Amino acid sequence: MIIFYGVSIFLILLFPNGININETTNWRPVYSWSFLILIYIYFTSLIFVPVMFFLIKLYKSFEDNNLKSKMKYFSMGIAGMVIIFLGSILYNTWRNTVFGIIWPIITLLIIPFGLLIYFGIGRDL
């Protein structure tokens, strides 16, 4: 399975005109819209959906309410990190000045999402 993920990521990087980095982009990566859709489909179907499936399955197997609440925090943190990840890819694709101003502020939410993951799994287990 790990080889499958590695090969699929390698094939995504070979996508023609997917990532553009040169002087005209001020050496910032600019993704094409087709590459954005490909990344969204790949990440959602092969990473996010299985992770959430197993988190729900694990949550249902817990009987202790303390563990269930920790799993809720962890799940919210993971979902928040996914939103940040998908938004960051959109930030590299979409050239809108309003989104370009607002998105760096929204990414500060990575701190509470990281804390949710920490308090969900990392602390006092």
Domain limits at 17?
2-122
What HEC string does 81-110 produce?
Answer: HHHHHHHHHHHHHCCCHHHHHHHHHHHHHH
User: Residue 125's pLDDT is what?
Assistant: 61
pLDDT digits (tens, 9 = 90+) for 64-102: 999 999 999 999 999 999 999 999 999 989 988 999 899
Q: Quick check: 33 and 20 in contact, CB under 8 A?
A: no
Q: Quick check: 72 and 58 in contact, CB under 8 A?
A: no
Number of structural domains found in the chain: 1
In 3D, which of 28, 112, 8, 122 has the Cα closest to residue 70?
122
